[in-house]
Amino acid sequence: MKRILFYTNQFFGQIGGEEHANIPPRIEEGVVGIANLFKDKVEGKIVATIICGDNYYSENMEGCRAFLSKEVERLRPDLVIAGPAFNAGRFGMACGDVCSYINKKYGIATITGMYIENPAVEIYRSDTYIVETGKSAAFMRKAVSKMVALANKILRGEEIGLPEEEGYIPKGIRVNIFHQKTGAERALDMLVKKLKGEEYKTEIPIPTYDKVQAAKPITDLKKAKIALLTSGGIVPFGNPDHLPAATAKFYKKYPVSNIEGFAKGDYESVHAGYDPVYANENPNRILPLDLFKELERNGEIGSLYEFYFVTTGNSTSVADATRMGMEIAKELKEAGVDGAIMTST
């Protein structure tokens, strides 16, 4: 029977949430946590489950790779499955690195699952199969089904089809396909369909990118009005406006004219994508209001805008982020703001 090694994080490994995001990698024999959803569906045996905290992996990558090497050489798996990570950035980076590292060093097939906007997709898509999933664990059943189908084809030694056939994100590999018609004939067929308003599919998708023209530099900071923005989730204590901890579709603004900084106990982080302990100890670590108040007092900037803007960038879609950014920019422009400082986590 084919042997499978599974990788997951502290949450899906049933250890805990953010408070355990710093645990070092550990290995459990057999099936643990999320791996149970795969065990009766894959045509192989999950021999062990590796669990590691999201923060620990990102901060100790070389050490984690050494741990992986030791276990891969001991267990000699035929396939490695990681995730699925959906739109979780740190988990996605860990899953991507696990799969990329093992595939490159040992030539072992690897599979993970992610939402298309997960930042790890662009980094690791060429090194491993990344099955496209929904944004969150609400899409778990579909994600597992697609990952299992691809895993079983690999375990059976079958030829893997095109991305749209198998459900994985394109790896950037071009393959030769034989057609009855020449390229020129197929191109004309597509052109005719386009002119008629009929559906057609290009053979070479061309990526499109937003072109953002950079603003002109501020000529004199001592006369400039500066606004503060953050996607780090710093809100008044108790989160009175119920800003979501993830997948935010709105932002809030709060006054800063009458405070000299964000005081512990008066403000807190509601962001679900990082450990908030140090942010709650001193929220200025996420958005340095205290520093900008000092710059304002010393005349190094003209003035500070009377409100700061906040949302949570954790799993927020590009479309929602773009909309929110345009709305905020409109207000800042109308208020005569010359520049903005945007902090994340």
Question: What tokens appear for 61 in the block?
Answer: 């990558």
Are 141 and 50 part of one and the same domain? yes
Which among 166, 199, 229 is the end of a domain? Answer: 166
263 within a domain of the structure (yes/no): yes
Does this model's pTM top 0.85?
no
Indicate the DSSP class of residue 280. H
Q: Are residues 10 and 128 in the same domain?
A: yes
157 and 8 part of one domain: yes
Mean pLDDT by 10 residues, the chain (345 residues): 96 92 95 95 97 93 96 97 92 95 97 93 94 93 96 95 91 80 92 93 77 89 97 96 88 96 96 89 97 97 97 84 94 96 90
| pLDDT for residue 174 | 74
Neighbouring residues of 107: CB distance < 8 A, sequence distance ≥ 6: none
Are 231 and 154 in a shared domain?
Answer: no
Containing structural domain, residue 252: 221-343
Tally of domains within the chain: 2
Q: Are residues 133 and 41 in the same domain?
A: yes
* Distance between CA atoms of residues 340 and 159, nearest Å: 52
Domain assignment of residue 115, yes or no:
yes
Give the domain CATH number at 9.
3.40.50
Residue 184 lies in a domain: no
CA distance 29 to 14: 15
Residues 162 and 227 placed together within one structural domain of the fold: no
Domain membership of residue 206 (yes or no) is no
Of the residues 166, 188, 211, which one is the last residue of a structural domain? 166
Do 9 and 157 fall into the same domain?
Answer: yes
* SS3 call for 67: helix
